[in-house]
Structure 1
Amino acid sequence: MVFVTISNFCKSSVKFNKKYQLKFIDSLRLNVKGGHGGNGYPKYGGIGGQGGCIQFEANEKVTLNALAKRNKKSPIKAQSGEDSSKARVLGRRGDDLNLKVPIGVTVFDEKNKKIAELNEPGDTCIAAKGGIGGCSGNNFLGTRGQERIVTLDLKLIADVGMVGFPNAGKSTLLKALSRATPKIANYPFTTLRPQIGIIEYSDFRQITVADLPGLIEGAHANIGMGHKFLKHIERTKLLLMVVDLFGFRFSVIHRLRTCMQNIYALNKELELYDEDLLDRPCILLLNKIDKEGAQSEYDQIKEKILDLKSHTSDCPEELLSNRFIQFDDVHVISAKNEIGIDNVKASIRQTLDKYAEENLNDASNELKPNSRQITGENH
């Protein structure tokens, strides 16, 4: 039994044609079953072989799409243990079935209880145990292997995650920053699935950037892409908040929100989904500085964005948050004309290195023994 969850923005009565289906899968359910234990041999006290296990192993070259295609049979079974016999009193153990899964997968059971997180290459977990071989304790009858339905939930692991409303220019920015070639067009929701790009520096340093589908208001409550988008932010080290200097209007029936209002709206969505995200390092990018009147728009807000809490007079009540994100850096850019892109690349690297060093120092301080104990004070 294989279930695939695909990220969609809205439901439609029109049946999906295959060519319009999204290729990116970030959630997959599999029916897995451990191998049956081999039967024992009562006459000689022979013990049957244990059934093989189903094991997941994190691998950077695998996708959930590929995993689903390779394992269409249901359930996915490991090999049964060998029966005991005259020739072999101790039956052979059934072979384990090792399934490669993407890095960043969290495994849940039928009750949505977390089994394991596989965040590093080579991380493994047992998804279904093999049955016990037949012996005197079970009347020499091998037992069934464990059968369960597990859910593989993928959260992308990237150094940087871009957040912003649709049409803010994130896909264009990703193309300017890296070698990625995302689909780019002048309408909302161009990005229907996460895109990963790599920023390469002259000293061969590489930083991964994820362009995630545009947020809409209510994403924290799973509206639109909702949790399909927000869950991918959780494993990024740095947020790039990309905002259109001229504001954003979702459609003709929605009112235009200013650049500042959109910043407050993004802050609100992050807070409602996971307040800890507001503590994440964040760089604000104000896009489309190349357009006429952009400098004037920026001059009006450049003081306000440094202290969001003190400038909420223009913020609608429904967008007010209890906490406000503090930007580590602010840049005005044109993703389209690649204005300010080199500064952004440098800022990303410096910010990541700054916080990595701080975390390293904090960890070192926690490991240091108490100085009083070393010098023998208070003895």
Structure 2
Amino acid sequence: MKRFSKRFMDTLRLHVRSGRGGMGQPRYGGIGGKGGDIYVEAQEEQTLRKILEANPQKRWSAASGGDSQKFRICGEAAKDLIIPVPVGTTVRLDQNKVLGEVNQKGDKVLVARGGAGGSSINKYNGQKGQVQNIQLELKLIADVGLVGFPNAGKSTLLRAISNAKPKVASYPFTTLQPNIGMAEFHDGHQVSIADLPGLIEGSWANFGMGHKFLRHVERTKLLLFVVDVNGFQLGPKHPHRSVTENVIILNKELEMYSSDLLEKPAILMVNKMDCLLAETKLENLLKDLSQMKEISLNFPEEFCPDQLVTFEDIIPCSARANRASVNYLKERLREILNFHGDQERNQVAIETKAREKIQRQLTERSIKLV
């Protein structure tokens, strides 16, 4: 059996062929059965790797419709073929056209329509099914997405705040694949948190982990920026960036990928507050953030964001050494998620009432006209 790498897989290309329509029966006016359609359907506990392991050739074909026969005038329609995919999958054609998304269990997207059965319309010849090359693109769905450069302490935080056990080490790029943990509260409430591969400068242009990281940020409800109070240096050939510079460059990376990301609620966590002179560095950061616009204008143009992220809270923390700071962060995440969830539900209720009112007015007017 072919062996597969166990690294996280978030894209998969498949070749799909729907079923051909069955042949008609011109002598008796019989109609052939319709060929099977092919759908992708969101299922829990499914992964793209399981799809690959189930069908290493990556070719999926639906059955053909039954032919019309002397004693069965209408040919039997073929069963549809269902490809189980993870929740949060976007389905694209090779030309990059989006066919649809499956964001909840049971959501389905038609990817190849079966051919029509033979009839008088097509001279009783069953029609070919559609042949498509599709791309499955997984975007993790989580309440909170951790955003930060390598070695900022995201994995350490996830271990401290949830039941996840990501690899932790004192060198960059420890996290090479997304990890999701669940932060649990005493009343049973849970918040899902995604620790994603660290950004580097140029990720928006697909350098480093690039889009492999950034696509997963799109479906999170809240962004948690995690920065090292001491700043960050990717390697000896790269400049050392202060914590303020890191915040601005992270802002720019998200903006260049999609400015919509900056509309999401965001919290800034300043990590490693157990280090020497951390309090002084934090004071300098808070002062810089109050003058963020002026400071960012002094950056080279390629690092200067057009739109600055607005942080709803700035929280100093030591994910490794201060449990109380982690617990405080955990509670704030829940509070802010609940606040925005309530706002969203209220907005939906207002829009629903407005639509119902308009519908009633239209109905009343139509009655009067009659």
Q: TM-score, normalised by structure 1?
A: 0.89
Provide, for residues 21-56 of structure 1, a one-character-per-residue CA deviation record: whole Å limited to 9, x for no partner: 452111111000111111112222111111111111
**Contact kept in structure 2, 1:50 and 1:93, CA below 8 Å:** yes
| Gapped regions of structure 2 (runs ≥ 5) | 361-370
1:41 corresponds in structure 2 to 25
Matches within 5 A, 1:137-286: 137-286=121-270
> What is the letter of the counterpart of residue 54 of structure 1?
I
Amino acid at match of 1:47: I
Asked if structure 2 preserves the Cα contact closer than 8 Å seen for 1:23 and 1:65, the reply is no
- Match of 1:173, SS state, is helix
For 2:14, the equivalent position in structure 1 comes to 30
Counterpart residue identity of residue 80, structure 1? S
Distance 1:76 1:294 in 2: 57
Q: What does 1:53-72 correspond to in 2, within 5 Å?
A: 53-72=37-56
CA distance in 2, matches of 1:307, 1:201: 36
Corresponding residue to 2:87 among 103, 128, 135: 103
Q: CA deviation at 1:306?
A: 4.4
Please give the alpha-carbon distance, in whole angstroms, between the structure 2 residues aligned to 1:330 and 1:166: 20
Distance 1:278 1:33 in 2: 40
Q: Letter of the 1:341 partner, please give it.
A: V
8 Å CA contact 2:33, 2:68 repeated in 1: yes
- Aligned match of 2:74: 90
Label 1:306 to 1:156 Cα distance change in 2 as closer, same or farther (>3 A). farther
Q: Which amino acid aligns with 1:189?
A: F
Say whether the 8 Å CA contact 1:306–1:326 is kept in structure 2. Answer: no
Preserved CA contact (<8 Å) 2:13 2:58: no
Whole-Å Cα distance in 1 between the matches of residues 197 and 44 of structure 2? 22
Percent identity, please. 45
Do 1:29 and 1:149's aligned partners in 2 also have CA atoms closer than 8 Å?
yes
**Count of residue correspondences:** 355
Matched, 1:330 2:344: no
CA RMSD of the aligned region, Å? 2.0
Q: Deviations over 1:222-266 (max 9, x none)?
A: 111111111111111100000000000000111211000101110
Judge which range, 67-76 or 269-278, deviates more.
67-76
Deviates more, 1:165-174 or 1:295-304: 295-304
1:314, distance to aligned residue in structure 2 (A): 6.6
Cα distance between partner residues in 2 of 1:369 and 1:74 = 47
Following superposition, the deviation at residue 84 of structure 1 comes to 1.2
* In structure 2, C-alpha distance between the alignment counterparts of 1:97 and 1:310, rounded to whole Å: 58
Displacement of 1:65 = 0.6
Separation in 2 of the partners of 1:74 and 1:332?
A: 48
Residue number in structure 2 paired with 1:342:
327
The alpha-carbon deviation at position 363 of structure 1 amounts to 2.6
Report the Cα distance in structure 2 between the residues aligned to 1:73 and 1:182, rounded to whole angstroms.
Answer: 32
Contact 1:261 1:316 (8 Å CA) reproduced: no
Q: Identify the match of residue 279 of structure 2 among 291, 295, 312.
A: 295
The match for 2:349 among 341, 361, 364 is: 364
* Contact 1:103 1:118 (8 Å CA) reproduced: yes
How far 1:316 moved relative to its partner? 5.0
C-alpha deviation, 1:367, in angstroms:
3.6
Q: How far apart are residue 132 of structure 1 and its match?
A: 1.0
Q: Which amino acid aligns with 1:346?
A: E
* Code of the aligned partner of 2:343: E
- Kindly provide the amino acid, as one letter, of the partner of residue 181 in structure 2: G
Residue type of the alignment partner of 1:265 = I
Report the 3-state secondary structure (helix = DSSP H, G, I; strand = E; otherwise coil) of the residue aligned with 2:27.
helix
Structure 1 range deviating more: 308-317 or 129-138: 308-317
- 1:300-319 deviation per Cα after TM superposition (whole angstroms, max 9, x unaligned): 22233245224447745542
